[in-house]
Amino acid sequence: MVPISRGLFADLLAQGEIFQSRDILRPTYTPSKLPHREEQINNLASILVPALRGETPSNVLIYGKTGTGKTAVAKYVGKELEEASFEDMKCVVIYINCEVVDTQYRILAHLARHFDRDIPMTGWPTDQVYAEFRNALDEEKQVVVIMLDEVDKLVRKGDDVLYNLSRVNSDLLRSRVSIIGISNDLKFTEFLDPRVKSSLGEDEIIFPPYDAEQIREILEQRANVAFCSGSLQESVIPLCAAFAAQEHGDARRALDLLRISGELAERARSTVVTEVHVRQARDKIEQDRVEEVIKTLPTQSKLVLYSIILLEEQGTRNITTSAVYNMYKQLCPLVETDFLTHRRITDLIAELDMLGILHTIVISKGRYGRTKEITLSVYSGKLKSILQQDYRLKDLTNVTVPQQARLGL
């Protein structure tokens, strides 16, 4: 007798559960306790405590590599500050991710909307948006802490908004503003106007990377709540921690690795997450990362990669920078773009090497100087299919290699 299905999703739900709450393993979740960040939490709290007295806290820059707990600590302390404030001295914390909200207009509009001001997505002069935000701030006595995550992304488009925000207190009568900038880039302040730099960096907090033991404790804390009892093989968490420690102490990567391991086990209809699932998850994350990097490359870098692929397909041995450049010059007219200089293409190849998409070795040719030999670090078939998703490169799908480019002449 054929069993009667209760519906696609009902059958899938009945297969047994691995997760209790997978969202606890996502970067957006802020836990009630943050292991190994007590010093940073106390430092930030001591900087912000004047807000509870109605005074203006110092502006803070928070530095550290990806996955070192910067955003989690800032949000955690911000939440505690709001809860500790009272009606007579209100504290408001506004979090903005500058990778998403990335222009002066959008930042100011986002801040004004937080105070119920109706600002259009575009169309107003920036001065008018700033005035709306400033007036909304000053309607009542309050201290507003503005957290700008990935603040270096904002700086690349100019520091006007940072200048305005760092000076806003001089335009306010009742309220006060403090800025917390969060960045992975220790050097981004070098590009700031000196006045903005001195105002924004009144205090600095550095977040060191986690070691393998610290990452293991973080994973155990989350796993106890995220997974059903008995659904993790004993070696899974130490393995995730070891992999993440190799990646410069990135706890975010470790959490992603653990979550994806669980999801792969779930899809395989396993009741237990094993080391095999962790290794599969690691491969998947690496593939996804490389694919995302390739998709977001500039057109010129994509043409360089396409040139290397075509040279490989024609069986060219010892692919050199000159061979790539000659091929690249043949491709540029086909996609109606101007070609760059040989030196600039050499720089692009070095950048692609740093990203891990290709690998270069400097070879000495005696009195003929030196050259770079290039090999792809990504399977060329996969790389080609990703590049062909770019509509600008669609005309290269059936291109044949000119003999002179293939020989590097």
Digit-by-digit pLDDT tens for the chain (409 residues) are 445 555 666 655 555 579 999 999 998 898 889 999 999 999 999 999 999 999 999 999 999 988 999 999 999 999 999 999 987 789 999 999 998 898 899 999 999 999 999 999 888 999 999 999 999 999 999 999 999 999 988 877 776 889 889 889 999 999 999 999 999 887 777 778 887 888 887 899 999 999 999 999 999 999 999 999 999 999 999 999 999 888 777 899 899 999 999 999 999 989 999 999 999 999 888 888 888 889 889 999 999 999 999 999 888 888 999 999 999 999 999 988 998 999 999 999 999 988 888 888 877 666 666 778 899 888 888 888 889 888 888 778 777 655 544 444 4
Identify the pLDDT of residue 78.
96
Please give the Cα distance from 389 to 331 (Å, whole number).
17
Residue 95 annotated as part of some ligand binding site? no
- Could you tell me how far CA 50 lies from the centroid of its own chain? 32
- What pLDDT was estimated at residue 6? 58
Gyration radius (Cα) of the chain, Å: 26
What is residue 274's predicted lDDT score, i.e. its pLDDT?
A: 95
| Residue 371, annotated as binding a ligand | no
**Residue 6 counted as an annotated binding residue:** no
CB atoms near residue 390 (< 10 Å): 16
Flag whether 296 is marked binding: no
Residue 131 annotated as binding? no
| Residue-level pLDDT at 406 | 45
Residue 87 CB neighbour total at 10 angstroms:
5
Domains and CATH numbers, the chain: 8-23+210-294 (1.10.8.60), 37-207 (3.40.50.300), 297-406 (1.10.10.10)
Closest Cα to residue 146, out of 191, 103, 184, 98?
98
Q: What is the rounded distance in angstroms from the CA atom of residue 103 to the CA atom of residue 174? A: 27
Report pLDDT for 96.
96
- The answer to whether the annotation marks 317 as part of a ligand binding site is no
Ligand-binding annotation for 70, yes or no, is yes
pLDDT of residue 405: 44
